[in-house]
Amino acid sequence: VFSFDGTTLTSIDVADTASNANGVWGDGEYIYVVDGSPGIYAFSFDGTTLTQEDLFNTGGSANDVWGDGEYIYVTDGTSTLALTFDGTSFTEVSRVASYTGTGSVWGDEDYIYVGDQDLIVAYTFDGSTFTELDSYDTLDDIHGVWTDGTHIYLANRSRGIRAMTFDGTSFTEID
């Protein structure tokens, strides 16, 4: 954890994880770190000290994490999981199997976007079940997904950054 006063970047605390930290996301109260085969960690931070609250083994190799305020979504190479965290422990709510190997996840208020090797897949989640709406073959591995609520941006390995839209039914690539 670092602080920045506009001039100086200062290290405040470090929490080691068992493997290789692959992704981080926070909900304003907890910090979630995905760490390969150990799974996903939840940490609290009181301004000076990181404290591990829980570790959940996803069963795969946790790659990325994002949350919508109610659920925490984790990709682990074999599936995408929806979890909850109550401040003490994670609970798995649901999972959906991947096509070839999930890597990245991000979403907006309507959809969850998962980079599944060279596919970008759009899902909805109703609190118990993932529903796939569409998938689009990008022809190269997706290493990152982010959306501003209008466009979906992909870090698409050798094909660079790509911008897409999703209308609830299908993806369209922006030239």
Q: What is the pLDDT of residue 19?
A: 85
Q: What is the pLDDT of residue 68?
A: 96
Q: What is the pLDDT of residue 95?
A: 96
Q: What is the pLDDT of residue 139?
A: 87
101 HSE (CA, 13 A, CB side) = 8
pTM score above 0.85: yes
Q: What is the pLDDT of residue 141?
A: 87
Residue 44, C-beta contacts closer than 8 angstroms, at least 6 positions apart: 29, 30, 31, 50, 51, 53
Output the DSSP codes for the chain. -EEE-SS-EEE------SS---EEEE-SS-EEEE-BTT-EEEEEE-SS-EEEEEEE--SS-B-EEEE-SS-EEEE-SSEEEEEEE-SS-EEEEEEEE-SS-EEEEEE-SS-EEEEETTEEEEEEE-SS-EEEEEEEE-SS---EEEE-SS-EEEE-GGG-EEEEEE-SS-EEEE-
Determine the distance from the C-alpha atom of residue 8 to the mean position of all C-alpha atoms in its chain, rounded to a whole number: 29
Q: What is the pLDDT of residue 42?
A: 98
pLDDT in tens, the chain (175 residues): 999 999 999 999 999 898 889 999 999 999 999 998 999 999 999 999 999 999 999 999 999 999 999 999 999 999 999 999 999 999 999 999 998 887 899 999 999 999 998 899 999 999 999 999 999 999 888 889 999 999 999 998 888 899 999 999 999 999 7
By the 8 A CB rule, do 85 and 103 touch? no
